[in-house]
Structure 1
Amino acid sequence: MRSKGNLSLLIFMLLFILRCINHSLAYFLTNCTMIIQETPSNEVALDCADRQLVAVPDDLIKDAVSVKLGMNRIPKINKGDFCDMGRLSYLLLYGNEITVVDDGSFTDLVLLKTLDISTNKLTNVTCNMFQGLSNLTMLDLSQNKIRFIHNAAFRFLISLQTLSLRYNKLQQICDIAPIRDLPQIQEVFLSCNLFSSFETKDLPQNFSSNLNTLEISGKIRFSISTPAFPYIKTLVFFACGYHNNLQWDIPDKALLQNITDLYLDQQEISVEAIQEILQSLDSLTHFNLSFFREWGEKGLLSEMCKKATLRSLNLFQRDLNSFTSQLASCSQLTKLKLEDTYLKDLPKGSILPMRKLRFLSVSRNELNRVPFDVKHLSSLETLRLRNNLISELSCEDFMNNTNLSELYLNANQISKVGRCVFESLTNLKRLDLSDNMLTTVTDAFNNALQKLEVLNLRKNFIKCIRNDYFRHLKSLKRLNIESYLFEKAESKAFNGLKNLEELTSSLPLEGFGEITHLQLMENLTIILPSNRRFTVSESTNDQGIFFKSMKSLTVTCKSGLYYFNMEKVQSMNQLEIFKTENVLFYWQDKFTFERNTRLKTLTLTKSDLSKIRSELLQPIPHLQILDLSQSKIKSLDFLMRTNLTELRYLILADNEIDVINELVFSSLPSLTYLDLSNNPLLCECSNSGFIQWVKNNKQTMVVNTHQYKCSFPVEKQGTKLLDFDIQPCLDDGSFFFFISSTCLVVLTLLTSFIYHFLKWQLVYTFHLFLAFLYDSRKGKKQDPHQFDAFVSYNVHDEDWVYREMLPVLEGEQGWRLCLHHRDFQPGKPIIENITDAIYGSRKTICVISRHYLQSEWCSREIQIARWGRCCLAYHVQII
């Protein structure tokens, strides 16, 4: 039992380690990039689209709220592909090769709102495919090959509102029976399937849906004979290729009593069928129809207009020039759209009876003037005449349109606007004159336009902004005067625009003249045309207050470089977004943004920041997005001494950075997104620290790091930066120096300790060693011994040696003994005499007594004798 417990603990530890490893790689994405948000937040959005992926990446950030995986080659969604991604709300899987989605693959996606699996190869929808998606509101399964939907496939989708099954292989209406399990369903799109009929009698008994919008198509028999869709309001019959002959069979009109909107885009449908449809729909208010010549010739348009409930009519993509007279019958309409109908004119009286008309669009036609009847439509609120051939506006065109609030005249050929044209438009709020041929607007915007809030004059040929152009537009909030021909602006050109909040212009800041009264200005976009010169007729504004409420400033030069004076910007102390492109600054120091301390987004692209210093960014500590791409930056050292503690997005793509010091990022504690694409990075040890940081950091996602290529040395050009082996760079000798210095310190301490406490023992050991060497040398040379024996004794035992020992050994035995009092050489160190005596004798005789054992010199003699090759001959004990 104990072994099993240890095994379980080991498995748990291994799983924990693997999980930690996976988490450590959370921001080192090889297949995705993080989507930059204009307003930085803690929500992570990933773009993995169009990457030739063959599987869902296993390094998706678990906290992501949006993931785009479209346009890849993924064949299957496996259970676990989106494990632990509980915050995901937006998932796109369109344009892959998905044939199978494992049951339970989306179990963890409890907050998912949108799921797009369109344009794949699914053939069926299984029982548990959508398990866990209780908050899903939109599901797109269009353009697959679905033939079968399990009866309980949608039971988990209790919040689903929109379901698209367009372009599949469904054949019978009973195939959509599972939608009964969708309590919140609002829209179902079924066009371009293989239905031969759509008859509610084929649905299960007691089938009922809360559906209010249904789209179908094909050569189909449409029959509603049961109360299957009691709340349906919108029917769409969508053209799907040719042969879309609709057969309408509604035996009981009460079953469609709630239908208000009908869209018919059928290429083959008879007049009789349309008449039958109109007769079946007593509540029809909006009719969207691709009109046919045959229908016009048979007076169908007039008949449609007699429908008392009809309020909105949209005719499109057919030639209506021969049938405009039939529109007169539509007197009850409040909305009329005649777009893409090749109209060259709307004859007098064709829409004159429409006294209740509030919305009229005749866009994308061939009108060369404003229709005559328009001026008599006093109830008109929105008029769209864009993309026509209108070249002139007369004083009578809008003379009675006092209720008009939106007027779109863009993309025409208007070259002049007289003072009287807009005189009657006292309630106009939006006016679009963009993309025309205007060279001047003198007196066009007179006192009548007191309520105008949006004015668009983009893409005209205006060269000069004069003082009287906008002086009467007291309520204007948004103005676009972008023009490629601007040369001049008078000093009081913007006088009177006290409520202006957003301005798009082709004037440089130096050309704005007196603008200190623009106290509400928040967003300014300057788009400078190429190779243009700007002049100001009078002195420019030198006052201290300049757009003090400004929150966003964008300056873009189309080509070339614009030299920008930051003095005007420095007074914008509320500025939060500052963007420039192809702009050069007069200076780059700590005073540049010292008054713009609220900046959150700073974009300086296509500039020359090769000499950028940290002082430029120090005054803006709340910066969250910094984009310095294509600005000739050579190093990141300027970020070392900044105080950008809130910086989240750093974009430095397309610069000249070759070496990156990873210590830079320690001064950016909030950095989550880093783009260094297309820089000439070196594959040398100087970048080893950066490579190691990219692989190990847990916070910052370095965009497309796996695609970064080496630019130097030559032999590594074209290879991947992350493939560079940094291991040799890490072994730089520092460990050797550490060990060496440690050993030296320990040796010094040990030597001092030994010298202090073991000095004489060391000396004694040294001499023992010398004795050993001496004996070795003597043995090798085989020198004859001078004495037969060396007698080692204490001086207190001298009498015994002379009386007892010496007579026997020398007198009787004939030995020649070495005695220290007799044979030691005078003046020679005692230790050397001892050594020479021992090693000059064949034997050593030790006379051991109590005095001998207590003697230090006797002890040394016996120790030397032990090291030598001489052995102890006699052992004498003295009691």
Structure 2
Amino acid sequence: MSNKKLTSLPRGLLHKLDLLTELNLESNQLTHLDANVFTNLVNLNELKINDNNLESLPQEIFNGLKSLRFLDLESNKLKDLEPKIFNNLSNLQYLDLKKNNLTVLSKELFIGLTSLHWLHLESNGLTSLEPDTFNDLSNLYQLNLNNNKLTSLPQGVFNGLKSLEKLYLQSNCLKKLERDTFKNLFNLDELKISNNSMTYFPLDIFNGLNSLTWLYLDSNRLLHLDSGIFKNLSNLEYLDLRDNCLREVLQLNGLKSLRWLHLSLNELAHMRYHELLDLPTLWEFNINNNSFETLPHYTFEKMEQLNSLNLQSNRLEHLEPNIFNNLSKLYKLNISRNILTCLPHDVFHTLICLSHLSLGWNHLDTLEPDIFDSLSNLNELRINNNDLTSLPKDIFNKLESLTVLDLNSNKLTSFEAETFNNLSNITYLDISKNKLTFLPPGTFDGLKSLRRLNLSLNQLDDLEPNIFNDLTNLHELKLKGNYLTILSQEIFNGLKSLEELDLQSNKLTIIEPDTFSSLANLKQVDLSRNNLTTISSGVFNELKFLRQLNLQSNKLTSLEPNTFQHLSKLATLNINDNKLTHLSQEIFNGLESLYCLDLDSNYLTSVKPDTFSNLPKLEILYMNKNISPDISTDNFN
């Protein structure tokens, strides 16, 4: 009976359905229910009345539902609930009241719900709670009070919840909590107090929470935490303190099981020896987005199990030579967005398991030739957005496992031909946004696994024949924003797997007839924003799988008949913003799959009949901003 636009239930509609076990009334428009509407449903297990317009419920509405285990009242407009309204639901295990308009809860509201496991009260307008509200819920497993307007919690409010394992208080307006707020929650496993207005926690507030595994205190206004506040949380594995106002690294004594620690987005600036983090089981440590200018060499020495370390977006000017010495199991290291100008000679030499290294957005202007020599397991290396002008010839020689290398946005003017030759497993290489004027022969030799190569926004004015000859698995080649004027016939030899070629925003004036002849699998070509005045006959003849061709913003004055005749798969053709004055009747021959044709912003004055007659699948045609084109309806017959 869901989604039927019901506004009410006829009296007696359900009276004879005493064998019914499930009733779904969700997503109707019910505004009220009679007190005895469910009275005879003695075997009902599941009742869904969510997503309606109920503002209130009669006191007796659930009388007789002795077998009910699941009750969903979510997303109504309930403002208040009668005391003891659930009193007879002794077998109820799941109660959902979220997304209503409840502002207060009667302290007798949940009397009788001795079997309840899950209680959802989130996303209401609750401003306060009575001290004994939950006293009867001795078997409750999960309590959701998040996304309300609670500013405080009364003393002892959770005292009766001896079975509680999940407590969600996030996204309220809590400013203060009493020291014994959680004292009887011996089985609590997960506690979320994030996104409130807490500035301080009493020293012993977490005492007794011996089972706690997950603790979320992020997005508050914490200025300080007392030393030892977590000392009794011996089973805690996850601690989130990010996005607060902490200025000192707290001592975390006693957290012998901690695996995840988040301290990012605070105001931490100094690490003193007495704050040394003795966390032998720590697996992930995030202190990014703080204000550290330096870190002592002993900072991580008692974190032997560390797998992931994020130091991004601090103010680090240098690294101590031995700072990572004990991190032989580190897998991921992010030091990007600092102000490093150089790296100590052996700073990475013990990181034998490192797979991901991010050094981008620093001020590195030089790198030692053997800086990465010990990183034989490195999979991803990002050195983008630095000030590098050159690279030592052998700098990447030992990186046999590398698959991603990002060097974009540096100041590289050249490099030796052999610089990349040992990277046999690399799949992605980005050297865009540098100042390269020349690529020496053999630059890409040996890169048999490379699939994506980005050389955009350099100053390349010529490319050697066969420069890409070894890149037999390359799928994407980006050369946009260079100074190329001519493409020779042998420039793309070897690129038998290439699917995307971007040559936009160069200075191309001519493309030789066989330039693309070896690119049999090409699907997308962008030649826009160049200086092409003509297209050589047959230049596209071998591109039988091409689907997108962009010739926009060139200087084409005419196109030869049958220029595109072999492009039977072409779906999109853009010749916008050129200087075409006419179109021959055979110009679009062979384009049997063309879906979109853009001829905007040319100098067309007329179009001959039958010009478009060979385009059976054309659905989109742009011809704006031409010179008063005289187009007959015969063109589209």
Q: TM-score, normalised by structure 1?
A: 0.53
| CA displacement at 1:333 relative to structure 2 | 1.4
User: Which of 177, 187, 200 pairs up with 1:271?
Assistant: 177
Contact 2:475 2:498 in 1 (8 A): yes
Residue in structure 2 matched with residue 384 of structure 1 by the alignment: 310
Task: Decide which structure has the larger Cα Rg and report it.
Answer: 1
User: Which of 275, 285, 289 pairs up with 2:194?
Assistant: 289
1:647 aligns with 2:570: yes
CA gap of 1:698–1:611, structure 2 versus 1, over 3 A, is closer
Say which SS state the counterpart of residue 667 (structure 1) adopts: coil
CA gap of 1:599–1:368, structure 2 versus 1, over 3 A, is same
Number of equivalent positions: 538
| CA displacement at 1:305 relative to structure 2 | 5.4
Say which SS state the counterpart of residue 299 (structure 2) adopts: helix
| CA displacement at 1:629 relative to structure 2 | 3.1
Residue in structure 2 matched with residue 864 of structure 1 by the alignment: none
User: Which of 440, 452, 459 pairs up with 1:523?
Assistant: 452
CA gap of 1:415–1:678, structure 2 versus 1, over 3 A, is farther
Say which SS state the counterpart of residue 366 (structure 2) adopts: coil
Instruction: Return the alpha-carbon distance in structure 1 between the equivalents of residues 502 and 124 of structure 2.
Output: 49
User: Which of 363, 366, 371 pairs up with 2:288?
Assistant: 363
Percent identical pairs in the alignment equals 18
Q: Which has the higher contact order (CA 8 A, sep 6+)?
A: 1
Contact 1:421 1:444 in 2 (8 A): no
CA gap of 1:661–1:431, structure 2 versus 1, over 3 A, is same
What code does the residue aligned with 2:453 have? L
1:148 aligns with 2:72: no
Residue in structure 1 matched with residue 520 of structure 2 by the alignment: 597
What code does the residue aligned with 2:619 have? M
**1:26-70 Cα distance to aligned partner (Å, 9 max, x none):** xxxxxxxxxxxxxxxxxxxxxxxxxxxxxxxxxxxxxxxxxxxxx
CA gap of 1:412–1:591, structure 2 versus 1, over 3 A, is same
Equivalence map 1:255-270=2 (5 Å): 256-257=164-165, 259=166, 262=168, 264-270=170-176
Residue in structure 1 matched with residue 534 of structure 2 by the alignment: 611
Instruction: Return the alpha-carbon distance in structure 1 between the equivalents of residues 585 and 163 of structure 2.
Output: 71
Contact 1:445 1:473 in 2 (8 A): no
Residue in structure 2 matched with residue 712 of structure 1 by the alignment: 627
What code does the residue aligned with 2:175 have? I
Residue in structure 2 matched with residue 701 of structure 1 by the alignment: 619
CA gap of 1:709–1:563, structure 2 versus 1, over 3 A, is closer
Instruction: Return the alpha-carbon distance in structure 1 between the equivalents of residues 608 and 474 of structure 2.
Output: 42
Residue in structure 1 matched with residue 379 of structure 2 by the alignment: 453
| CA displacement at 1:386 relative to structure 2 | 0.6
Equivalence map 1:174-213=2 (5 Å): 194-197=101-104
| CA displacement at 1:353 relative to structure 2 | 2.0
CA gap of 1:730–1:321, structure 2 versus 1, over 3 A, is closer
Say which SS state the counterpart of residue 479 (structure 2) adopts: strand
Whichever structure has more strand as a proportion of its residues is: 1
CA gap of 1:483–1:679, structure 2 versus 1, over 3 A, is same
| CA displacement at 1:701 relative to structure 2 | 3.4
**1:69-125 Cα distance to aligned partner (Å, 9 max, x none):** xxxxxxxxxxxxxxxxxxxxxxxxxxxxxxxx9979xxxxxxxxxxxxxxxxxxx96
Contact 1:262 1:284 in 2 (8 A): no
**1:362-395 Cα distance to aligned partner (Å, 9 max, x none):** 1111111236422331111001111110011121
Say which SS state the counterpart of residue 449 (structure 2) adopts: coil
Contact 1:201 1:225 in 2 (8 A): no
Residue in structure 1 matched with residue 255 of structure 2 by the alignment: 330
Instruction: Return the alpha-carbon distance in structure 2 between the equivalents of residues 366 and 526 of structure 1.
Output: 35
Residue in structure 1 matched with residue 91 of structure 2 by the alignment: none
Instruction: Return the alpha-carbon distance in structure 1 between the equivalents of residues 80 and 110 of structure 2.
Output: 9
Q: Tell me whether 630-639 or 361-370 shows the greater mean CA deviation.
A: 630-639
Instruction: Return the alpha-carbon distance in structure 1 between the equivalents of residues 372 and 253 of structure 2.
Output: 35
Residue in structure 2 matched with residue 421 of structure 1 by the alignment: 347
| CA displacement at 1:712 relative to structure 2 | 2.5
Contact 2:390 2:415 in 1 (8 A): yes
Instruction: Return the alpha-carbon distance in structure 1 between the equivalents of residues 120 and 233 of structure 2.
Output: 22
| CA displacement at 1:451 relative to structure 2 | 0.2
Q: Tell me whether 594-603 or 202-211 shows the greater mean CA deviation.
A: 202-211
| CA displacement at 1:238 relative to structure 2 | 4.3
Contact 1:477 1:502 in 2 (8 A): yes
| CA displacement at 1:314 relative to structure 2 | 1.3
Residue in structure 2 matched with residue 582 of structure 1 by the alignment: 505
Residue in structure 1 matched with residue 11 of structure 2 by the alignment: none
What code does the residue aligned with 1:270 have? K
Instruction: Return the alpha-carbon distance in structure 2 between the equivalents of residues 476 and 482 of structure 1.
Output: 17
Residue in structure 1 matched with residue 424 of structure 2 by the alignment: 498
Contact 2:365 2:389 in 1 (8 A): yes
Q: Which structure 1 segments of 5+ residues have no match?
A: 1-100, 105-123, 129-145, 152-162, 175-185, 714-720, 732-879
Equivalence map 1:727-746=2 (5 Å): none
User: Cα RMSD (Å) of the superposition?
Assistant: 4.7
1:479 aligns with 2:402: no
| CA displacement at 1:476 relative to structure 2 | 0.7
Q: TM-score, normalised by structure 2?
A: 0.71
| CA displacement at 1:236 relative to structure 2 | 7.5
Contact 2:243 2:266 in 1 (8 A): yes
Instruction: Return the alpha-carbon distance in structure 2 between the equivalents of residues 440 and 614 of structure 1.
Output: 48
Instruction: Return the alpha-carbon distance in structure 2 between the equivalents of residues 355 and 315 of structure 1.
Output: 19
Residue in structure 2 matched with residue 554 of structure 1 by the alignment: 478
Instruction: Return the alpha-carbon distance in structure 2 between the equivalents of residues 363 and 489 of structure 1.
Output: 33
Contact 1:520 1:549 in 2 (8 A): yes
Q: Tell me whether 288-297 or 325-334 shows the greater mean CA deviation.
A: 288-297
Say which SS state the counterpart of residue 526 (structure 2) adopts: strand
Contact 2:170 2:195 in 1 (8 A): yes
1:315 aligns with 2:266: no
1:667 aligns with 2:574: no
Instruction: Return the alpha-carbon distance in structure 2 between the equivalents of residues 543 and 579 of structure 1.
Output: 16
Residue in structure 2 matched with residue 411 of structure 1 by the alignment: 337
CA gap of 1:443–1:561, structure 2 versus 1, over 3 A, is closer
Contact 1:321 1:344 in 2 (8 A): yes
CA gap of 1:230–1:568, structure 2 versus 1, over 3 A, is farther
CA gap of 1:423–1:298, structure 2 versus 1, over 3 A, is same
Instruction: Return the alpha-carbon distance in structure 1 between the equivalents of residues 204 and 544 of structure 2.
Output: 71
CA gap of 1:646–1:216, structure 2 versus 1, over 3 A, is same
What code does the residue aligned with 2:447 have? L
Instruction: Return the alpha-carbon distance in structure 2 between the equivalents of residues 203 and 617 of structure 1.
Output: 76
Contact 2:237 2:259 in 1 (8 A): yes
Instruction: Return the alpha-carbon distance in structure 2 between the equivalents of residues 238 and 207 of structure 1.
Output: 26
Residue in structure 1 matched with residue 273 of structure 2 by the alignment: 348
CA gap of 1:627–1:284, structure 2 versus 1, over 3 A, is farther
Instruction: Return the alpha-carbon distance in structure 1 between the equivalents of residues 77 and 558 of structure 2.
Output: 58
Whichever structure has more helix as a proportion of its residues is: 1
Instruction: Return the alpha-carbon distance in structure 1 between the equivalents of residues 164 and 29 of structure 2.
Output: 32
Equivalence map 1:790-869=2 (5 Å): none
CA gap of 1:701–1:362, structure 2 versus 1, over 3 A, is farther
